[in-house]
Structure 1
Amino acid sequence: MHIRDQLVVNLIASAGEAYVLLRTTLPDRAFRQVFFWAFGINFAALATWSVFIWPLCFNPLRHLPLAKGHLHHAKMLFDSPRGKTPLKWIRTIPNDGLIHFRDTVNRSYLVATSHQALLDVMSTNTYDFEKPWLVRNFLARIIGFGLILSEGGPHRRQRKALTPAFNIKNIRALYPLMWEKTGILLSQLEEDIKENPSGFNTAGNIELSVWASRLTLDIIGPAAMGRDFQSLTHSENKVADSFLAILEPSREKIAFLALNFTLPQWFVQRLPLRLNRVIDTEVGFLRQLCHQTVQDKRTALQERKSQQEELEADILGSMMTSGDFTDSELVDQMLTFLAAGHETTASALTWCCYQLCQHPGVQTRLREEIRATIPSADYPITWAELEAMPLLNGVCQEVLRLYPTVPVTIRESVRDTTVAGKRIPKGTRIVLCPYAINRSPDFWGETGDEYSPERWIDTDEKGHQTCNRNGGAATNFSQITFLHGQRACIGKDFARAELRCAVAGVVGRFEFEMQNPNQEIRIAGAVTTKPVEGMHLRMRRVEGW
């Protein structure tokens, strides 16, 4: 126990002893006066110690490079794009892996910036850090206490039970499903083009981000829970609409997020706020949907109506047959996979098309590579073909680097520990910022902000091109879109495979540009990264594929 905690314990013990002594020796009125004066003085002393003396004179972090000011933790929530402030610090504040900043009451926060610091937080000392309880409690309202929000022993147990479902063999077996759904998307986009002509060269106006979300929802549904939502072919789809209502970016949602990260849930949920009603309604529907799916599959399992292979054809079936999860835990896992499993790739596909509009030469070369490898959209692709295309993989990797779905996340030390050789007291909050790390000049040089798919392509002396996995950076921790270590995103290979299929299909079939080339696209989102204005494209089918 360090000195700050010991002081609090001593004060409480002394107050208890004083209370007993005074209560037995003084009349009621005198006792109340003395007690409240003593309480006020002790509270003031404790506040002075916690807010001024400890942070400024004793905190071992006080000597670290400091970002001056006291509102940075709040400012980060309203950054556009989120992660902009930590990236500025990385570029301007010399540091050895940790940058220190304080909130309004001088509590310490750190931003991890180096390979060693990131390694310690995400791998070496992973279980010394947890998501702060206020953060977890709010997010659990939406996705339940599934794999993302579990900590410590429960997380290790869940991770071990779920890992087999996400091995590379099982992911590659899902390519036919992903390609089939991509084909449906292409057909629906063609219909949408006809219904919304732009009056220019047989092109049509498309809002891509909604279509991207529907595609990925229709993939994660069968893959995760054996349920096809058919949101691509049904314009009115309650599941798709519910996620849109919860995740659609707005300043209102960011302010609501800040409120929930500051105040306890029991208080926030009682406030007469519109978003409280939205979350209760939409999450209530999604939770009931997941519960019913679990019950249907449980009935099939108990009655032996389905073969073992059929039951294990999706993630939910694999979890149920393993016997490691209660029905309530299964519902939480399904909520987690539905939300995280489709939003990541939908966001990446949207930003990918945006960058290809900004770089039409890359779009043309990519279309040529796709068509040279895949004869048509009806061709039964293989994982080997998609994973071997250098430019396709470079385009996908680069957009995942520049537009991480979750741009900022936070951890809190649950015990005294060390990071990058520095002692970290219990209760210190550490910011992990994929947006900043993925663009950091320390890892990517001066071109970190630039869109360059070629950095993910190696060319040998004979001009033969192959994919690389590091983008030319010296460490895997230069890109932390999916984090690393024991808390890395379990579905990262699923997301990459899904993105390859979607990009190959859309770019192979269509040529596209921005409807308004001068439109400013702002990066926002309460938890995830999305374009505030949507992604309005002018698309045209390119014949011959």
Structure 2
Amino acid sequence: MLSSTWQLPLGLVACIPLSIASAVVYYLFLVPRLSSLRVLAGPPVRRLFDNHMSLVLDPFRSPKAHDIFVNKFGRAVRIRGLGPWDDRLLPLDPLSIAHVLKNTTIYEKPWQSRRLITSLIGCGMLAAEGAVHKRQRRVATPSFSIQNLRALVPLVFRKGNELKEKWDKMLHDSALSPSVHREDASEGMEIDVCHWISRATFDVIGLAGFGYHFNAIQNESDELFSAYKEMFEISVSQSQSFRVILGIYSPFLNNLFPDKRASTIMKCQDVIERVAGKLIQQKKEKILEGEKLGSSYAGNDLLSLMLKSNVATDLSPDQRLSDEDVLHNINTFMFAGSDTTSLALTWTLLLLARNPNLQSRLRSELLAVVPPTPESQLSSEEIESLHNTLASLPFLDNICKESLRLIPPVHSSLRVAMQDDEVPVSHPVRLRDGSISEQKSFHVSKGTFVHVPIEAFNLDKGMWGEDAWEFNPDRWDNLPEAARNLPGLYNNLLTFSAGPRSCIGMRFSMIEMKTFLYTLLTNFSFSETNQRIYKANVVLTRPYVSGKFKMGSQCPLIVKRLSREDPRGP
């Protein structure tokens, strides 16, 4: 009786090693042979668990890697992901990538990416797919109309001017310091522009997004600002990748055994839900109160506009967003609207510091449109007129486009095929056996990962010319034909993506970028320090000081107040 009692469990125990061995054989040897991408050419792997992730994700290596891939393997490349079972498509053909980004029902973000995003900022437009994403985008789109964005222009100018005044005070205080010699004071001071511009863009998106005063330029004491900043910077930039991956596949571990990252996220989310949740309720009450009184609530921040859009009479009840959905999308705007724009501005200032002739040329163009009346005394209409002038300045436009081309804040993205598909091509496809296929498409099986190489398209020498890796704003006056035909929401660039999931806040980002460049470059000059700044892809492409990675994103530059006698600068 005892032996029969133990017979079944022992049998089950004996099956465990067999099941594990079967799974190992299946994923290591059978799955790779069944991959639809197996016929495509691609870089070799030397060992069983080799992969190409560092080559395509590290900004220090990726431009050269992509260039080699195109020359050796064509524009439909098979790369290795996390293991032998993970063949991925690297589409470097404009027609192929346009197809992937256009067909969002076929190519979605993988559940792993969505779970990571959701665990941080909730299921807003960055993480949502299908009908949920469509519903959220429909409610949010009116908030980003040209008319609504125009109303935010004075706010951006005001915050740009506040940052200018803060730097003025820092330079003045530094010059008065007894430890600074007079001749050293005239050379300006070292300022981490990444840190300060991030504070300024947080202020902008706080007011533009919530109608909330972070007051981050003056100090960093606001609890909501601290919660967002800590969650975005520490929890994302300073986390261990292995533990993050483990948390994606086994999320219960973050609840049972939270590490520093998980604990930080939970603490920050509690603050955000409490403070931002209260803001949502207050604005909803004001909107309802306005309806009762027969007058519309005048708030023009994105939250107010989205809440008003959410109760519009032409929107059926089943298409409206819950308070949780609204909060998740505000979190998304905070993340996408502050970090990406501040990084774009930081990289632009660094590129101008490295190219003083271009910096002087841009400054001359900007100084020519400075109004005789101080900006603080201009009316909203005059500020809007100044912005319209800035928006039409050709060299400023070229500088912004070239910076966003050369160093896109989002380095790359990932999609997964939700069904079998035929991917069209405009270039011949090179096959694994060395032959070339003249077919106009190739097959992709359901479940195949597609690496969306944003930076690679922006730096493709076959499209942009041999100087594609150089900072050359004048290229935009005479683009090659191939570059003019590239897909992209913004000037044939993939920086803001393309298709139905392209960046909804692109126009607002450009308002911020041009306004801040105008204010800073007409008051200060920028030059490099003796510290080496390099790029690292840590969720976004961030600047780091060589040897100081653990200190987080930094971009120190020498900032000098422009002489009143010669405001042209260096």
* Structure-2-length-normalised TM-score: 0.81
For 1:325, the equivalent position in structure 2 comes to: 321
The residue type paired with residue 385 of structure 1 is T
Classify 1:71/1:271 alpha carbon distance in 2 versus 1 (closer, same or farther; 3 Å): farther
For 1:18, the equivalent position in structure 2 comes to: none
Note if contact 1:146-1:329 (Cα within 8 Å) is conserved in structure 2.
yes
Residue of 474, 488, 499 corresponding to 2:485: 474
What pairs up with 1:256-271 in 2 under 5 angstroms? Answer: 258-259=244-245, 263-271=249-257
For 1:177, the equivalent position in structure 2 comes to: 155
In structure 2, stretches of 5+ residues that fail to align are: 312-319, 425-440, 546-553
Question: Larger deviation: 89-98 or 387-396?
Answer: 89-98
For 2:427, the equivalent position in structure 1 comes to: none
What pairs up with 1:84-123 in 2 under 5 angstroms? Answer: 84=63, 87-123=66-102
The residue type paired with residue 189 of structure 2 is G
Query: Using the alignment, how far apart are the partners of 2:58 and 2:471 within structure 1?
Result: 21
Residue of 452, 467, 488 corresponding to 2:502: 488
The residue type paired with residue 339 of structure 1 is F
- Report how far residue 31 of structure 1 moved: 4.4
The residue type paired with residue 148 of structure 1 is L
Query: Using the alignment, how far apart are the partners of 1:426 and 1:510 within structure 2?
Result: 54
For 2:526, the equivalent position in structure 1 comes to: 512
- Report how far residue 344 of structure 1 moved: 1.2
Note if contact 1:345-1:495 (Cα within 8 Å) is conserved in structure 2.
yes
For 1:453, the equivalent position in structure 2 comes to: 473
- Report how far residue 364 of structure 1 moved: 0.4
Query: Using the alignment, how far apart are the partners of 1:96 and 1:209 within structure 2?
Result: 35
Classify 1:427/1:82 alpha carbon distance in 2 versus 1 (closer, same or farther; 3 Å): farther
* Structure-1-length-normalised TM-score: 0.85
Query: Using the alignment, how far apart are the partners of 1:367 and 1:471 within structure 2?
Result: 31
For 2:544, the equivalent position in structure 1 comes to: 532
Note if contact 1:347-1:530 (Cα within 8 Å) is conserved in structure 2.
yes
- Report how far residue 543 of structure 1 moved: 4.0
Classify the secondary structure of the residue corresponding to 1:149. coil
- Report how far residue 82 of structure 1 moved: 7.7
Question: Larger deviation: 327-336 or 85-94?
Answer: 85-94
Note if contact 2:142-2:306 (Cα within 8 Å) is conserved in structure 1.
no
After superposition, give the CA deviation of every residue in 1:139-192 in whole Å (9 maximum; x if it has no partner): 212211111110011111111221121123322332222112111111111112
After superposition, give the CA deviation of every residue in 1:331-363 in whole Å (9 maximum; x if it has no partner): 111111111111111001111110011000011
For 2:108, the equivalent position in structure 1 comes to: 130
Note if contact 1:203-1:539 (Cα within 8 Å) is conserved in structure 2.
yes
Task: Tell me the number of residue pairs that the alignment of Structure 1 and Structure 2 aligns.
Answer: 507
For 1:242, the equivalent position in structure 2 comes to: 227
Query: Using the alignment, how far apart are the partners of 1:37 and 1:303 within structure 2?
Result: 69
Classify 1:402/1:68 alpha carbon distance in 2 versus 1 (closer, same or farther; 3 Å): same
The residue type paired with residue 428 of structure 1 is T
Query: Using the alignment, how far apart are the partners of 2:258 and 2:501 within structure 1?
Result: 36
Residue of 255, 274, 291 corresponding to 2:241: 255
The residue type paired with residue 209 of structure 1 is C
Classify 1:541/1:38 alpha carbon distance in 2 versus 1 (closer, same or farther; 3 Å): closer
After superposition, give the CA deviation of every residue in 1:80-110 in whole Å (9 maximum; x if it has no partner): 5484575355444322334332432422211
Query: Using the alignment, how far apart are the partners of 1:507 and 1:308 within structure 2?
Result: 42
Query: Using the alignment, how far apart are the partners of 1:306 and 1:281 within structure 2?
Result: 40
For 1:63, the equivalent position in structure 2 comes to: 39
Classify 1:472/1:80 alpha carbon distance in 2 versus 1 (closer, same or farther; 3 Å): closer
- Report how far residue 470 of structure 1 moved: 9.5
Classify the secondary structure of the residue corresponding to 1:228. coil
For 1:465, the equivalent position in structure 2 comes to: none
Note if contact 1:97-1:116 (Cα within 8 Å) is conserved in structure 2.
no
Q: Does 1:390 align with 2:410?
A: no
Note if contact 1:61-1:424 (Cα within 8 Å) is conserved in structure 2.
yes
Classify the secondary structure of the residue corresponding to 1:126. coil
For 1:21, the equivalent position in structure 2 comes to: none
Note if contact 2:287-2:297 (Cα within 8 Å) is conserved in structure 1.
no
For 2:515, the equivalent position in structure 1 comes to: 501
Query: Using the alignment, how far apart are the partners of 2:187 and 2:293 within structure 1?
Result: 48
- Report how far residue 318 of structure 1 moved: 1.9
Classify 1:301/1:171 alpha carbon distance in 2 versus 1 (closer, same or farther; 3 Å): closer
Query: Using the alignment, how far apart are the partners of 2:238 and 2:304 within structure 1?
Result: 38
For 1:273, the equivalent position in structure 2 comes to: 259
Question: Larger deviation: 304-313 or 289-298?
Answer: 304-313
Classify 1:150/1:309 alpha carbon distance in 2 versus 1 (closer, same or farther; 3 Å): same
Classify 1:233/1:77 alpha carbon distance in 2 versus 1 (closer, same or farther; 3 Å): farther
For 1:462, the equivalent position in structure 2 comes to: none
Q: Does 1:542 align with 2:562?
A: yes
Classify the secondary structure of the residue corresponding to 2:465. helix
Classify the secondary structure of the residue corresponding to 2:525. strand
Classify 1:387/1:82 alpha carbon distance in 2 versus 1 (closer, same or farther; 3 Å): farther
Query: Using the alignment, how far apart are the partners of 1:306 and 1:350 within structure 2?
Result: 46
- Report how far residue 499 of structure 1 moved: 0.3
Query: Using the alignment, how far apart are the partners of 2:296 and 2:541 within structure 1?
Result: 37
Residue of 416, 421, 438 corresponding to 2:458: 438
**Identity between Structure 1 and Structure 2 (%):** 25
Note if contact 1:134-1:260 (Cα within 8 Å) is conserved in structure 2.
no
Residue of 339, 364, 381 corresponding to 2:335: 339
Query: Using the alignment, how far apart are the partners of 1:141 and 1:347 within structure 2?
Result: 23
What pairs up with 1:290-439 in 2 under 5 angstroms? Answer: 290-304=276-290, 309-321=296-308, 322-323=310-311, 324-375=320-371, 378=375, 380-381=382-383, 382=385, 383-420=387-424, 421-439=441-459
Note if contact 1:64-1:100 (Cα within 8 Å) is conserved in structure 2.
no
Query: Using the alignment, how far apart are the partners of 1:98 and 1:509 within structure 2?
Result: 48
The residue type paired with residue 423 of structure 1 is H
After superposition, give the CA deviation of every residue in 1:423-459 in whole Å (9 maximum; x if it has no partner): 211111111122222111232122111001112236x
Classify the secondary structure of the residue corresponding to 2:74. coil
Query: Using the alignment, how far apart are the partners of 1:427 and 1:355 within structure 2?
Result: 40
The residue type paired with residue 334 of structure 2 is L
RMSD: 2.9
For 1:228, the equivalent position in structure 2 comes to: 213
Classify 1:27/1:49 alpha carbon distance in 2 versus 1 (closer, same or farther; 3 Å): same
Classify the secondary structure of the residue corresponding to 1:72. coil
Classify 1:284/1:405 alpha carbon distance in 2 versus 1 (closer, same or farther; 3 Å): farther
Query: Using the alignment, how far apart are the partners of 2:390 and 2:532 within structure 1?
Result: 33
After superposition, give the CA deviation of every residue in 1:37-91 in whole Å (9 maximum; x if it has no partner): 55654554454234312322x3221011122224436536973548457535544
Note if contact 1:523-1:531 (Cα within 8 Å) is conserved in structure 2.
yes
The residue type paired with residue 333 of structure 2 is F
Query: Using the alignment, how far apart are the partners of 2:50 and 2:563 within structure 1?
Result: 54
